[in-house]
Structure 1
């Protein structure tokens, strides 16, 4: 209606026609205009050609004229007109080195990329060997851990599929087989190589042309993504591309934006097909396998100087007339033969020549190793005004999803005193800058790809805080570096173990903090706070009976403990249906899975374990005839000691340490309670192991100071348990 109103105001539309359009009064406006021999309305998705005689428009598929063939027609006659005026007139070729072969060949115009003359000259050029930069590896060596340690900066060549996790059709899989699995009616993008022009045609038409005895044109298919076809079942992408892919790891199932499918491409090129220098969309890395035939890659490093030259060359109107390989210091030639897999890292500038008929499979993936370069390539595409068709689908949306997940990764690393790898820190910094710029751009270019459930400003703020925390050296990184301990990995696979439980605990805690945002920011519950809660519950159980269980309490405490460490989280998840026992291990309280105590002494020993005072069993020696001291006797001795010290609540941790580690008069060394590391706890990651000889747990709790109100040492908490339960029949 608004459009009709504007046309009326400008006098571009007759009022009667406008009324007919609004109310359907006129048959002219009520019925869409029909075209072609099929008498169908105009369809923007289908190629059409105009008859130069009758001026009617026809669908190319209806009159058997392919889009790439239409450019060769000088004067077109439709099937009705060619009866009276003869067949269509074709253009005359005047050169073999220009995209427009009708230009007169006066010898003054340079050769353009893709033409037959260009391909002959390219094959005659000499280049540095690709062996200078290629990393020759076995499939089993190409792992995520390897790339995280050594980086992914140079192309990798794997000559056998074994170990890659790659599954493909057999080498005799043909172009006709592709049509059988994908469907002949599928419309695909086809490149007319000599003109370096893209056109659309049905897959069946391409297959027919491919097998025709005369192929006057060189056609190349490089963008047939088949994830939504039956052929997808025949292909499994390499493990490294799946494990590192942003889309596979971070794209949510409930996303408003459609999931990008860029992992499965089938490339079918005729001999002498050529794709000029380019960087894959969004700076994606590429896996590429030649099923049969041969491809030649021309590779250029993505240095700052080369990228600047590439952007200048790409924006030049004479781009097709300049061979970019001559503008840089080195352009490497890499021949990829049948059965070889090539992995190209982020940002590498490359051109491809198909030296013989070839079928290849490949895919693209974004990852954490080169975030800065990926963002740089994306911004370059924007400056070059690359059409959306040739850009990574919803690139900005996936970056927001990644930012949200990397925030969780940084939080987990901080809580575990684990320094993230340098590549991830640099990547997050680059991501923060990009996200800020995209938000600013929204003012003038409102084309937002920010997911609905993400608060962009808050996310950027929290990421910035985590980076500042790392840069200020507050995460124990100095200690880790001084000890020579490698930083813990921060990719998705390294955090899967126990991460769900810790994130759940953190969300509950953050929600609690957010609920009380009007007051001063409360501190996260410490280990001592959790210990206090568990102590109160133990006393409550003593009143109810030693065999009663409170499942809700176990779940609650386990949830809080899940944030302590990856190892303790994994154990806590297995102990939801068991009695909860707390053990002080390596100076930290962890949750230990144990069966419910079947005796009173087992229950008491569990409380001693909570306090970090593990019961030391005397060595059994029947020849000495010594009777074992019962646990009840040990408790009574400790109670006597507590009474001799007064209430026990004001004694210092140093006195307790001296008592536990130095035998009293007439006391056997084996009768004392001592702090030790339990062997029941799971082994810790090297980055989480403390320095040798850690201070007593009581000193860690109070940091050598008198405890404040509401805080107490482990010894004092045990004393409280013993005093309150002194007259209980449980201990009689």
Structure 2
């Protein structure tokens, strides 16, 4: 088991007479009553975390190097511990007076809330493993509702044997390894647990688990945040193939920046261990990420609420408020669906679904979170809700913005050479581009702190010009969807248009309608130049034709000619028509080879004899 970075917390005297000094402190810096220190792994120098840190919780740091040591050796990098798998649910401030009185400490509170509730049976599709593939995504309903796969065959998934237990986890990862354990009664963390202690707890009888003593005050506990990527346990688990095909981290995070010693989003492999009676209250997974969930042994009961606007509003009112202790969220939603999973079942939960989970018997589960391109709008929306409700960074999807830039960089390269993508994927790319354009606007117009936060998330190893990338990707996605405009000031333009005179507004509208989509410009877009062009013009031909179409100026003559004028080219009388043909050919280099553009035009000049 690896140990974390060397840290310490010290209280100094009133005069600040601590013996060690921080190399980054200014001469007249005022000492704090309590200081967190961190030691460089290379030079063993101690620093104040407030002087050297980047705003993260020092407890999350796994390995830390000072700036000088990082510059001396490019292979060194600061690493962080895997984040706990948390929802965006606000955590209410604990009322200890109420706890002493027994309020909110009943581990069976969830079951009592369920009594006499109107639940609907599962309406969700049951699928075979081989049906859950990329072709399935062509169905508009795919990844919009949970699906259940009753047997794992065909999923392309690897799991440990069904007899796998908490004791096996402790043996592989180390009995002394700390583990986050949730007290189901309070839905908050219970401190001081190790994997060895947890394995002993799971082996105890349900009645012994409730006794105080060895397990503290006793109770019903749950493990939902043990991420095992890069461990011996992680090597035994492989997510379903559809997850690996969609997962942004798997597809777009550079392979040279993943693995041991690198910091990247580790949310793909969780070991979840629940005892009889354990439950997790209503929540949405961080950043609206989707989830795969495999029951190795035991059973789980899920309660789902659709992520409709009304239900999401109800969830926000309920989450973190007094309603959370007094009201069952299902009473505030339009419907609650019950799904029971047993050993061998796998479920995929799409982005944004509100759900609660109950454990009727001791259960072992493996699962994980993933972001993908088929519901980006929901993912961004949930991420923005997390920020608006001030969910701490350690409970959000790690490095969300940086991952989005990597995804956008790859999509832009693909869009430049082809737009042959499923429409849902293009719509997702547009939602991604809209999010990154909003980040760019902060970079251009935000305050200094906001600019710094956005800039730090841009991977300069891949993204050299973030504003240009975001805006070009948005333009190309809109073009692929045949949307009419990509003018950032479109909304403001409409406001100005309404304030103009009628004739001026009509003139502007006509101008916009006559502008072809491909000719519209947007900020920072510089299309590649053509490397050459050639024009071929065929000789002009002149002849008379007979036509039933009206002459110019006679009624709605233009519409008649555009739609259904009858022409007889064998006639010896009628308008004199001169015809010529032009062909333009040009080429330019692309990332995959060459693009050749051939444009052919036929130009006719009609002349009626004067009367």
Q: TM-score, normalised by structure 2?
A: 0.61
| Distance in 1 of aligned mates of 2:239 and 2:233 | 13
Q: Secondary structure at the match of 2:299?
A: strand
1:413 Cα deviation after fit = 2.5
Alignment match, 2:375: 370
Alignment match, 2:178: 187
Q: 1:148 to 1:100 in 2, by over 3 A?
A: farther
- How many residue pairs get aligned? The number is 416
1:409 Cα deviation after fit = 2.7
The answer to whether structure 1 residue 450 and structure 2 residue 452 are counterparts is no
| Distance in 2 of aligned mates of 1:137 and 1:521 | 45
Q: 1:558 to 1:524 in 2, by over 3 A?
A: closer
Deviations 1:359-388 (A, max 9, x none): 111011100000000000111111121122
Deviations 1:343-364 (A, max 9, x none): 1000000000111111111011
- Structure with bigger RCO (C-alpha 8 Å, 6+ apart): 2
Matches within 5 A, 1:463-542: 463-470=473-480, 523-525=529-531
Alignment match, 2:608: none
1:215 is matched with which residue: 209, 217, 235? 209
1:174 is matched with which residue: 165, 168, 189? 165
Alignment match, 2:287: 282
Contact 2:228 2:270 in 1 (8 A): yes
Q: Secondary structure at the match of 1:381?
A: helix
Alignment match, 1:158: 149
| Distance in 1 of aligned mates of 2:600 and 2:111 | 80
Deviations 1:375-425 (A, max 9, x none): 0011111112112222111011101111111212322224xxx4x433233
Deviations 1:522-541 (A, max 9, x none): 74246979xxxxxxxxxxxx
Alignment match, 2:235: 233
1:45 Cα deviation after fit = 5.3
Matches within 5 A, 1:347-366: 347-366=352-371
1:292 Cα deviation after fit = 0.9
Q: 1:525 to 1:161 in 2, by over 3 A?
A: same
Alignment match, 2:493: none
1:118 is matched with which residue: 109, 119, 131? 109
CA RMSD of aligned residues (A): 3.7
Any unmatched runs of 5+ in structure 2?
Answer: 1-10, 24-34, 37-45, 50-57, 61-94, 211-218, 486-523, 536-586, 604-611
The answer to whether structure 1 residue 103 and structure 2 residue 89 are counterparts is no
Matches within 5 A, 1:253-402: 253-255=255-257, 258-402=263-407
| Distance in 2 of aligned mates of 1:268 and 1:473 | 48
Contact 1:148 1:369 in 2 (8 A): no
1:229 Cα deviation after fit = 1.3
Q: 1:521 to 1:192 in 2, by over 3 A?
A: closer
Q: 1:469 to 1:198 in 2, by over 3 A?
A: same
Q: 1:521 to 1:298 in 2, by over 3 A?
A: closer
Which structure would you say has the larger Rg? 1
Q: Secondary structure at the match of 2:417?
A: helix
1:196 Cα deviation after fit = 1.6
Q: 1:400 to 1:180 in 2, by over 3 A?
A: same
| Distance in 2 of aligned mates of 1:424 and 1:240 | 15
Any unmatched runs of 5+ in structure 1?
Answer: 1-6, 24-31, 34-40, 47-97, 476-516, 530-556, 566-587, 590-699, 706-732
Matches within 5 A, 1:244-259: 244-255=246-257, 258-259=263-264
Contact 2:282 2:354 in 1 (8 A): yes
Q: Secondary structure at the match of 1:356?
A: coil
Q: TM-score, normalised by structure 1?
A: 0.52
Q: Secondary structure at the match of 2:189?
A: strand
1:434 Cα deviation after fit = 1.8
Q: Greater shift after overlay, 201-210 or 156-165?
A: 201-210
Q: 1:468 to 1:126 in 2, by over 3 A?
A: closer
| Distance in 1 of aligned mates of 2:243 and 2:200 | 34
Contact 1:528 1:701 in 2 (8 A): no
| Distance in 2 of aligned mates of 1:117 and 1:336 | 21
| Distance in 2 of aligned mates of 1:465 and 1:252 | 25
Contact 1:218 1:270 in 2 (8 A): yes
Q: 1:473 to 1:281 in 2, by over 3 A?
A: closer
| Distance in 1 of aligned mates of 2:180 and 2:110 | 22
Structure ranking higher in strand proportion: 2
Structure 1 runs (4+) greater than 6 angstroms displaced: 98-101, 526-529, 557-561
